[in-house]
Amino acid sequence: MGAILVLEDSQVLLSKLSNELKKQFPELQTLPARTIAEAQLLLNEFEIGVFLLDVCLPDGSGIDFLCDVRTISPDSVAIIMSAQQIPEFREQAESLGVIRFFQKPVDTQTLFKVIHKAIHPEAAAETAPPSHESFQASLSSLTTVDIIQLKCLARSTQVLQFTRADGLSGKIHFQRGEIVHAETSAHVSGLDAFNEIVAWKGGRVSESNESIAEASINQGWESLLMDAVRRIDELAATAH
For residues 17 and 34, give the distance between their C-alpha atoms in angstroms, rounded to a whole number. 12
Q: What does the pLDDT read at residue 89?
A: 56
Q: Kindly report the CATH number that applies to the domain delimited by 3-141.
A: 3.40.50.2300
| pLDDT, mean over the chain | 81
pLDDT in tens, 203-220: 778 778 899 999 999 999
Q: What does the pLDDT read at residue 87?
A: 60
Beta-sheet pairing, 158-163 with 60-61? unpaired
Cis peptide, bond prior to residue 74, ω within 30 of zero: no
Q: Work out the percent of the chain whose per-residue pLDDT is above 70.
A: 82
Q: What does the pLDDT read at residue 71?
A: 67
CA distances from 211 to 39, 161, 171, 208, 215 (A): 24, 13, 12, 9, 12
164 confidence band (pLDDT: 50, 70, 90): confident
The residue among 24, 66, 86 whose CA lies nearest residue 205 is 66
Predicted model pTM: 0.60
pLDDT in tens, 101-144: 777 888 888 888 888 887 776 554 444 444 333 333 445 556 78
What's the rounded mean pLDDT across residues 66-83? 76
Domain boundaries, the chain: 3-141, 144-239
